[in-house]
Amino acid sequence: MKKILLGISLLLLAYTSFAQTSIRIVDFDVKRGAEEEVARLFADYHSVERKSGGAHLQKVYYLKDVTHRAVFTGDAANWGVKIKKTTSEWDAYIGKMRRLQNSAGPSVVMTNLRWKNADREKNKVAKNWEMKIKEPENFLKAYDKFIKAIDNVLGDHITAVESIDLGGNGGTHRSWLSGNDLNDIILLEREIQKTQAYQIFIEERGEVELINSYLTKTIYTFN
């Protein structure tokens, strides 16, 4: 059973190689009843034009002491917003956000390695896996072959794999698979398990340790 779970966790990645986008994540635990205010503050502050990438607010499920996540993506050589906020604007924003939080979790810095773009509006829920990959190059080679083989099964679902460069919970990589809800993702995983390509991938990917798994739902995206 553990072998099956680890295998599923790794197919969520993407066949298409993607420009190495930098990803910065900040997790936090929002006080009960403060979710709408947090979302409003995030939208008001981050709804601006960026040099590259985007800013995203997500709801987090099944991850201890984390209810929400701010995700920032972009080109590390062209990072941030076009018109920089003032120090007083930042201080006012972060002060209000902190008063609505029980705690702020650790930050994580990642690099996108694989990406299969699809319907982002339809598929705003994602199942995430943090894992420790012993042989990354070997894994990605097997993964590319696998994802290409099941492209018709994945359909309009987004998949990605990222290296964890700083932070995290001991894993070296994160992967995720999107769907319109948790049931959609579970049913897709079952279909993938039935393929011969899945069994070959399990044999060829090398040693992988699953650190944790959890669910996210995108509330806002600005880019």
Euclidean distance between CA atoms 135 and 212, whole angstroms = 19
Which pLDDT belongs to residue 11?
47
Task: Say which CATH architecture domain 2-222 belongs to.
Answer: 2-Layer Sandwich (3.30)
Write down the pTM of the prediction. 0.87
Euclidean distance between CA atoms 108 and 87, whole angstroms = 23
Which pLDDT belongs to residue 119?
74
Which pLDDT belongs to residue 120?
76
Do 195 and 150 contact (CB within 8 A), yes or no?
A: yes
Q: What average pLDDT values come out for the chain (223 residues) when binned by 10 residues?
A: 50 48 96 97 95 96 96 95 95 97 92 84 93 96 92 92 95 95 96 96 96 96 84
Instruction: Report the 3 state secondary structure along the chain.
Output: CHHHHHHHHHHCCCCCECCCCEEEEEEEEECCCCHHHHHHHHHHHHCCCECCCEEEEEEEECCCCCCEEEEEEECHHHCCECCCCCHHHHHHHHHHHHHCEEEEEEEEEEEEEEEECCCCCCCCEEEEEEEEECCHHHHHHHHHHHHHHCHHHHCCCCEEEEEEEECCCCCCEEEEEEECCHHHHHHHHHHHHCCHHHHHHHHHCCCEEEEEEEEEEEEEEEC
Which pLDDT belongs to residue 17?
43
Which pLDDT belongs to residue 105?
80
Do 209 and 170 contact (CB within 8 A), yes or no?
A: no
Burial of 207 (0-12, 13-18, 19+ CB in 10 A): exposed
What is the crossing angle of helices 87-99 and 35-46, to 10°?
170
Which pLDDT belongs to residue 6?
52
Which pLDDT belongs to residue 9?
52
Domain locations along the chain: 2-222
Strand partners, 143: none
